[in-house]
C-alpha cells in the first residue's frame, strides 16, 4: 500500500484526505503543528473508512518522522488570506511555512512526489521545489483542476450538457491571471467559441476568476471540497500511473518559451510525477495572455527568493 502524507490538517487537508481515502489510494498520515488536531481528524476518518468498509490506515501526528518513506506528500499547510492581509503578507507567511515543511519532506520522504496546494499556488510550488531540492518532475502544483472545474460547472449549466462532456485546457497563474482557453475547450469536438456568443463566454470566464471569492463571501471561508476532489485525482494519476493529462503547475524549462517559472500547463502525470509537459498551439492573443500571467508569477517568485536563504 502506498503511503501518502498530508501536511496541514485544516479544511483543505482534511477534505483531500477524505477524497483520497474514499478512492482507497493508500495509507494516510496527517501532520499538523496543532496538537491533537491531526490525531483527532485521523480517528474520525478511520471511523468513516470503517463504516464504508475501506481498509486504509489513517494516522495523525505532530512529528514529521511519521511521514518517513512516504510516496507522496500533499502540502496544504499555510494560512488563508484574511481581509486585512495583502497578497504580499500572504506570500511572506506561506513562504516561511512551505519552506519549513519542504525541508522536512526532503529529510523524511526524500523519494516522494510532492503536490503543493498552499497559496499563492505557483509561487509555493517554486518554494517547495527550491527547498526540497527535488527535480522539477516531482514537485507539482495543484489548482488547474479547481479552476477548470469551476469553469466547466458554469459552461455545463449554460449549455445543458453533462459536465464530463466538456474538456479543455487551462494555463497560467492560479489567481486573477489564470488563462482559460475557450477556443480549445470542446464539447465532443465542437469548440466552445462556436457554441456560445463571445460576450457570454467572457462572462463565464470572469465568473470563474471570481469563483473562489464568491465561495468565501457566501460561506465565510475558502473552498475546501472542490480542492480536495482535485487533489485526489492528482494523487490517483500519480500512484496508479495513469498518464492522465492534468493541468498542473510545473517549473518550466523552455516549454512555451518560458524559463524558470512555475505555471499551470497540461502535464502527463504518473508514477514518476510529471512525465511530460504538453505544449498547446496557442494563437497570438492566447500566448500574450499566458506570458503576461507568467510574468506575474516570475515577479512573485523573485519576492519569495529574497525571503529564502
Positions marked catalytic = 174
In this structure, are strands 166-167 and 72-75 parallel, antiparallel, or unpaired? unpaired
Q: Which three cell numbers stand for residue 252?
A: 518550466
**C-alpha closest to that of 41 among 10, 75, 78, 2:** 10
Q: Considering the complex, what minimum distance in angstroms separates the CB of residue 47 from ligand APR?
A: 20
Nearer to ligand APR, 37 or 181 (CB): 37
Q: Shortest Cβ distance from residue 104 to ligand APR (Å)?
A: 8
Please say which residue, 185 or 263, places its beta carbon nearer to ligand APR: 263
Q: Which is nearer to ligand APR, 9 or 201 (CB)?
A: 9
120 within 8 A of 91, measured Cβ to Cβ: yes
Q: Which of 32, 41, 71, 122 binds ligand APR (CB under 6 A)?
A: 32
Give the Cα separation of 247 and 46 in Å (integer). Answer: 31
* Residue 230 is a binding residue for ligand APR (CB under 6 A): no
Residue 34 or 278: the one with the smaller Cβ distance to ligand APR is: 34
Q: How far is the CB of 154 from ligand APR (least distance, A)?
A: 20
Least separation in angstroms between residue 125's CB and ligand APR is 12
Q: How far is CA 92 from CA 96, 183, 301, in A?
A: 6, 37, 11
CA distances from 154 to 159, 160, 195 (A): 9, 10, 14
Q: Report the site for ligand APR in 123-152 (rule: CB under 6 A).
A: none
Which residue reads 490525531 in cell numbers? Answer: 39
Question: Is 18 a binder of ligand APR (CB under 6 A)?
Answer: no
Residue 304: C-alpha distances to residues 97, 128, 251, 308 (Å): 12, 11, 15, 6
Pick between residue 36 and residue 202 the one whose CB is nearest to ligand APR.
36
CB of 112 to ligand APR, least distance (A): 16
Cβ neighbours of residue 41 closer than 8 Å, sequence gap 6 or more: 9, 14, 17, 30, 60
Q: Is 231 in the site for ligand APR (CB under 6 A)?
A: no
- How many C-beta atoms lie closer than 10 Å to residue 27's C-beta? 18
> Interface with ligand APR includes 229 (CB under 6 A)?
no
Binding of ligand APR by 213 (CB under 6 A): no
The distance of closest approach from Cβ of residue 49 to ligand APR in the complex, given in angstroms and rounded to an integer, is: 21
What would the x/- binding string for ligand APR be over residues 171 to 200, using CB under 6 A? ------------------------------
116 conformational bin, left if phi > 0, alpha if psi -120 to 50, beta if neither? beta
Query: Which residue has the CB atom at the shortest distance from ligand APR?
Result: 10
CA distance 78 to 271: 27
Q: How far apart are the first and last CA of the chain?
A: 37
Q: Which of residues 65-124 bind ligand APR (CB under 6 A)?
A: 76-78, 80, 97, 100-101, 117-119
Site for ligand APR, rule CB under 6 A: 7-13, 31-34, 76-78, 80, 97, 100-101, 117-119, 222, 224, 227
Amino acid at each position: 500500500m502506498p503511503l501518502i502524507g498530508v501536511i496541514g490538517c485544516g479544511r483543505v487537508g482534511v477534505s483531500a484526505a477524505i477524497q483520497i481515502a474514499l478512492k482507497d489510494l493508500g495509507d494516510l498520515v496527517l501532520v499538523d503543528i496543532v496538537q491533537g488536531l491531526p490525531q483527532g481528524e485521523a480517528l474520525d476518518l478511520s471511523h468513516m473508512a470503517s463504516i464504508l468498509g475501506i481498509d486504509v490506515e489513517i494516522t495523525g501526528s505532530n512529528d514529521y518522522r511519521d511521514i518517513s518513506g512516504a510516496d507522496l506528500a500533499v502540502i496544504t499547510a499555510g494560512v488563508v488570506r484574511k481581509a486585512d492581509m495583502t497578497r504580499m503578507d500572504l506570500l511572506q507567511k506561506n513562504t516561511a511555512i512551505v519552506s519549513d515543511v519542504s525541508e522536512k519532506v526532503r529529510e523524511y520522504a526524500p523519494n516522494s512526489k510532492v503536490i503543493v496546494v498552499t497559496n499563492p499556488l505557483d509561487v509555493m510550488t517554486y518554494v517547495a521545489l527550491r527547498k526540497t531540492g527535488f527535480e522539477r518532475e516531482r514537485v507539482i502544483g495543484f489548482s488547474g483542476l479547481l479552476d477548470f472545474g469551476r469553469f466547466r460547472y458554469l459552461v455545463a449549466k449554460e449549455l445543458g450538457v453533462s459536465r464530463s462532456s466538456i474538456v479543455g485546457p487551462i494555463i497560467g497563474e492560479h489567481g486573477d491571471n489564470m488563462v482559460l482557453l475557450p477556443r480549445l475547450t470542446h464539447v465532443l469536438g465542437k469548440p466552445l467559441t462556436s457554441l456560445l456568443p463571445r460576450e457570454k463566454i467572457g462572462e463565464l470566464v470572469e465568473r470563474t476568476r471570481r469563483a473562489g471569492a464568491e465561495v468565501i463571501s457566501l460561506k465565510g471561508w475558502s473552498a475546501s471540497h472542490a480542492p480536495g476532489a482535485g487533489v485526489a485525482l492528482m494523487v490517483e494519476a500519480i500512484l496508479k500511473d495513469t498518464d492522465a493529462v492534468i493541468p498542473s503547475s510545473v517549473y518550466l524549462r523552455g516549454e512555451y518559451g518560458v524559463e524558470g517559472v512555475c505555471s499551470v500547463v497540461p502535464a502527463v502525470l504518473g508514477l514518476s510525477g510529471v512525465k511530460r509537459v504538453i505544449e498547446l498551439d496557442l494563437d497570438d492573443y492566447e500566448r500574450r495572455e499566458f506570458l503576461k500571467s507568467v510574468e506575474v508569477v516570475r515577479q512573485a517568485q523573485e519576492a519569495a527568493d529574497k525571503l529564502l536563504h
